[in-house]
Every structure is written in structure tokens, then in C-alpha cells.
Amino acid sequence: MKIAVCGKGGSGKSTVTVLLAKELARKGKPVLVIDSDESNYGLSRQLGMEVPADFTAYFGGKEKALQDMMLSNFTHQFFDGTWTLKDIPESYCSEKDGVKLMASGKIHTANEGCACTMGNVISQFIDHLILLRDEYALMDMEAGIEHFGRGIDNGVDQILMVVEPSYESLALTGKILELGQSIGKPVCFVLNKVDDENQEWMRENICEGAEVVCALPSEKKISAAGLRGTELQDQYDAIANLAEALVNGTSGMVPVL
Ligand SMILES: Nc1ncnc2c1ncn2[C@@H]1O[C@H](COP(=O)(O)OP(=O)(O)O)[C@@H](O)[C@H]1O
Ligand SMILES: [Mg+2]
């Protein structure tokens, strides 16, 4: 099952991706985390892993890949045929406790150009990735909704939006539900950083028709790890229940085929 984890910047996409990946791995499921956020620096640290090599380098690096795309008039297919988890070259992956991490690539220097090439590589990768029944790919998306415009979500089975307690984040729920539905993808919502006071407001003010599948409390240990850049090691009931729902195909999640 391929899941896109999206939401506004700072809402907790990386945190939820990591906690869910670790929970699924604890259940013995093979998990691939795909970092498709070019400005994401905390993800590997939250997983307790080294930063993997940019996957775009596999195709000769950003410049070469962009050149290939331009020469082919933007019809360049980086992948011919399908890929499985085993086909991902080890040199482009970090791995720990049953979770693999790969990354599309980062912006390394000023004026080096936009991240479209990386977006193209990763969207083709997710399209060509074939998973077994019990395998999971979690894509930690870039903030906002540009990834919908780039077509990256077309290749996933499920969209999970992380919603934090802010007007901005709640306002985005309707747009993401609409965008997901427009490409035929089920969208579910994870309320993050909830407490007794904000949860009720969030549930009342989330967009109409939203399916809330998880409410992760605001936890001191999570924010402390976020500040220090250390691994997330604790388990949370809300995420354990979400993993269970995913595996069983219940609670609004698409069933695993
Ligand atoms: N449930 C939570 N409780 C406390 N802090 C959280 C929680 N979820 C996320 N955070 C903190 O919020 C900040 C943003 O989270 P992050 O996962 O990096 O967001 P995103 O990937 O959406 O930009 C981090 O400092 C993180 O530690
Ligand atoms: Mg992030």
C-alpha cells in the first residue's frame, strides 16, 4: 500500500510518517519511507538513520536528469518496467529496524534551479513501484499542495493529511479533500498536537466529510526530539491504532488488496 502523508509545513508530516513507519515495522511489515520534501532535514534523524544519497543521482544527478527530460521533450521515462522494494539499490537507501529510507534529493546550493526534476523522478518511481500485499510505502510529502499539481499523488493508494491546531491547517483540509477526490484517492485525516481544549474545536471545524482516523496528542517527548534532532523512540496508542486500522483496512482506510 502506498500512502502520501501531506499537510502544511510544521503540521507533523515527518513525525507522523516516522511514528507510523516504525509501528508498521514493529508489526513485521516491510516499510519504505520516501522523503519527497526537498527542504526536509529532520526526517532521517527522527528515524535514527543516516541521510541516504539523493535518488536523483541514480539517474546521473539533477542536471543530467533535467537534460534527459528536456531532450526527450519532457516525456523522459526514468523507469522502464516495474520496481519492487528489492530493486532499490542499497547505496540509495538507509535502513534500520525494518524501515528503509530513500530520498528524492535536496536543494544543495543557491540558484541551482527548481526541484521539478526530483519531483518527476519520485513521481515516476511511485508510479512504477509494485508492492506486495503486506508492504508499505509512506511518502513524506513537501508542505502544501504543489505535489497535487505535479501529479505525485496519482500513484498512491491513500492520502493521509496531518492537521495541526491552526486556522490555516484546518482551512487546508477542504482543499486537500477536494484535490484527493478529484483524482479518485481516498483522503483521511490525522489530527496532530491535540489536547483536551483544541481537539473539540478541530473536530468541529475540519472540513465537511472529513474522515478523522487518528488524533495524536501533543507530546513533550516528540517536541523535545524535534528540537534536538534525535530519534523518535516511543510508541503512542493513537499511532498504534492507526497502524492496526491500516493493516486491517478499517476505519476509512482503503483495504489492502
Ligand atoms: N504530536 C506532537 N507533539 C509535540 N510536538 C510535535 C508533535 N508532532 C510534531 N511535533 C513537532 O512539530 C514540529 C514540526 O513537526 P514535523 O514533523 O517536522 O512537521 P512537518 O514535517 O509537517 O514540517 C517538530 O518540531 C516536531 O517535533
Ligand atoms: Mg517534514
Average predicted confidence (pLDDT) for the chain: 90
Name the band, by pLDDT with cuts 50, 70 and 90, for residue 59.
Answer: confident
Ligand 1 atom at shortest distance from the alpha carbon of 162: 22
Ligand positioned closest to the Cα atom of 15: 1
Which residue has the least CA distance to atom 8 on ligand 1?
12
- Ligand 1 geometric centre to CA of 24 (Å): 20
Name the band, by pLDDT with cuts 50, 70 and 90, for residue 255.
Answer: very low
Ligand 1 atom at shortest distance from the alpha carbon of 192: 1
Does the CB atom of residue 8 touch ligand 1 within 6 A? no
Task: Give the percent of the chain with pLDDT over 90.
Answer: 68
Does the CB atom of residue 30 touch ligand 1 within 6 A? no
Q: Is the pLDDT of residue 257 over 60?
A: no
Q: How many CB atoms lie within 10 A of CB 164?
A: 22
Question: What pLDDT is stored for residue 113 in this prediction?
Answer: 66
For residue 243, the Cα-to-chain-centroid distance in whole angstroms is 15
Which residue has the least CA distance to atom 17 on ligand 1?
12
Q: Is the pLDDT of residue 251 over 60?
A: no
For residues 149 and 239, the model is more confident at 239
Does the CB atom of residue 13 touch ligand 1 within 6 A? yes
Q: List own/partner pairs for 110-116 with CB under 8 A and 24 or more apart.
A: 112/62, 113/62, 113/66, 115/38, 115/142, 116/66, 116/150
- Ligand 1 geometric centre to CA of 194 (Å): 12
Ramachandran quadrant class, 190 (left: phi over 0; alpha: psi -120 to 50; beta: rest):
beta
DSSP 3-state helix, strand, coil percentages of the chain (rounded to 5)?
40, 20, 40
Tens-digit pLDDT profile for residues 137-150: 999 998 888 888 77
Does the CB atom of residue 14 touch ligand 1 within 6 A? yes
- Ligand 1 geometric centre to CA of 196 (Å): 18
Tens-digit pLDDT profile for residues 22-58: 999 999 999 999 998 877 888 999 999 999 998 888 8
Residues around ion ligand 2, judged by CB within 5 A, are 13-14, 40
Tens-digit pLDDT profile for residues 131-190: 998 999 999 998 888 888 777 888 899 999 999 999 999 999 999 999 999 999 999 999
What domains, with CATH codes, occur in the chain? 2-248 (3.40.50.300)
Its pTM stands at 0.93
Q: Is the pLDDT of residue 110 over 90?
A: no
Name the band, by pLDDT with cuts 50, 70 and 90, for residue 254.
Answer: very low
Closest residue by Cα to residue 179 from 36, 4, 1: 4
- Ligand 2 geometric centre to CA of 17 (Å): 9
Name the band, by pLDDT with cuts 50, 70 and 90, for residue 69.
Answer: confident
User: Among 13-17, 78-82, 156-160, which is the least confidently predicted range?
Assistant: 78-82
